[in-house]
Amino acid sequence: MKSINIKFWGVRGSIPTPGYSTLHYGGNTSCVEVAFKNGPHVILDAGTGIRELGKYLQKSKKPLNSYILLSHFHWDHIQGLPFFRPAFNPDNKFTIIGSDDPAIHLDQIISFQMDPTYFPITIDDMRADISFRSIKEESFSLEGVDVQTLYLNHPGYALGFRLTFQNSSLIYISDNEPFQHDKNTEIEKIKSINKEKIEEVFESYVENKNQNLIKFCENADLLIHDTQYLAEEYKDKITWGHSPVNFTVELAMRSKVKQLILFHHDPDHDDAAIDRIEQLSKKILRSYKSRIACRAAQEGMVIEI
């Protein structure tokens, strides 16, 4: 094992997509397991993929001590948590880490989804030792892993994570788009652009407006990033908080990452559509003579860095 082992348990955005047309890439929503060699066990997001991860973790006879880092609280990132069986075992310990919504604390955000109106059991029925840690844009350490966070361009308060361990680093940015949400006039300008020209706009926009993001991702061994749309689809979905493939590839190149994983697949994209997005990404990378390795995230996929 290299120093970091990453396994994808859920790769879909917005809503689970069971069915024949999504069998190859999978239909569960965001959940990525990150195991650090002789270091902590981290779970990135608790979408429906965490249910299968829980069943897998239960096979271990040893008590679990895991950190669950939540990017934000849209359903596709928390919906699996009530079905995460290890949370019901009193031998286990979990620290749930995420940003407060300014009006609601992290622990309330999580417990509200298990309100009796919506779910038959409450968070108090989870017998594991569960604690909450509210974070903002900051840096902190988890048992030797340096964690950096960055607020993203997404409705609400979504965080991206950079995890660094023994000189290797991975970035997890599940939900993010190129354009800032508080600049309405700019968004109107972008919306009025001719579809054929939108790729040129991404190039200049990445350069000029996303310097913080580029710096955050710089030289990472692995970038997992939102790639929900094709460029032509994105034009009608500006402000929805997700990225077109061109932007994600541009970001990977400008940040000089080693490997790019296309993530948070659109629920309306079948396996063939995701294949096309992967091929398009590779084509763009080839056109720049880039050596960045690139793949679309698939349930069950394992990467070591």
Positions in the binding site for Zn ion (CB under 5 A): 13, 74, 76, 175
Residue 72 Cβ vs Zn ion, minimum distance, rounded to whole Å: 6
Residue 237 Cβ vs Zn ion, minimum distance, rounded to whole Å: 13
Bridge partner list, 33: 7, 43
Whose Cβ is closer to Zn ion: residue 274's or residue 285's?
Answer: 274
Structure tokens at 267: 């629920």
Residues 6+ apart with CB under 8 A from 240: 155, 177
Q: Taking a C-beta distance cutoff of 8 angstroms, is the pair 228, 13 a contact? A: yes
Whose Cβ is closer to Zn ion: residue 4's or residue 150's?
Answer: 150
Whose Cβ is closer to Zn ion: residue 47's or residue 54's?
Answer: 47
Residue 155 Cβ vs Zn ion, minimum distance, rounded to whole Å: 7
Whose Cβ is closer to Zn ion: residue 175's or residue 177's?
Answer: 175
**CA distance to 195, 258, 270, per residue, from 287 (Å):** 21, 17, 26
Nearest-CB residue to Zn ion? 74
Q: How far apart are CA 252 and CA 247, in angstroms?
A: 9
Residue 29 Cβ vs Zn ion, minimum distance, rounded to whole Å: 7
Whose Cβ is closer to Zn ion: residue 22's or residue 164's?
Answer: 22
Residue 268 Cβ vs Zn ion, minimum distance, rounded to whole Å: 14
Whose Cβ is closer to Zn ion: residue 13's or residue 27's?
Answer: 13
How distant is the alpha carbon of residue 247 from its chain centre? 16
Residue 80 Cβ vs Zn ion, minimum distance, rounded to whole Å: 13
Secondary structure of residue 52 in the 3-state scheme: helix
Q: In what order do the strands lie in the sheet with 4-10?
A: 129-134, 93-98, 65-69, 41-44, 31-36, 4-10, 302-304
